[in-house]
Amino acid sequence: MPLFGNTFSPKKTPPRKCASLSNLHFLDRSTHEIELGLEYGSPTMNIAGQSLKFENGQWMAESGSLQNQGERREIQRLRKRNQQLEEENNVLRLKVDILLDMLSETTAECHLMEKELEELKSHSRRRK
């Protein structure tokens, strides 16, 4: 028998009233598909009065004003030019690497020929 009264016995919790307070499950099928359907569309957000839309893995300004369209065209043009310059840079690097390889091969051949020439000169001197 415990000293200070009954053993520990927690109070019973009251039964739950409703599992969900949302009224979406009471809607008819067509409204339910519109509200909870799979066609979400692309995500959009509004920051500082400018509306942005997520397309092709990038946030793009929605076409609202002519200034935004002009800026978008300029950005696309600059990106395309940047990509062209990067490709040209890669080709030029490849050409430089090939030229360096050719130069080292020619230098090695030249050193071998000089060495053979020295050996032939020393061999011909011995005969005399």
The sheet carrying 50-55 orders its strands as 44-47, 50-55, 58-61
User: In this model, does residue 61 exceed pLDDT 60?
Assistant: yes
For the question of whether the overall pTM of this predicted structure is more than 0.85, the answer is no
d(CA 31, CA 8): 51
What is the per-residue pLDDT for 125? 87
In the chain, domain spans: 50-127
| Tally of CA atoms within 13 A in the half-sphere of 83 that contains its CB | 6
* For the chain, percent of residues with pLDDT exceeding 70: 73
DSSP string, 52-64: EEEETTEEEE-S-
d(CA 128, CA 31): 111
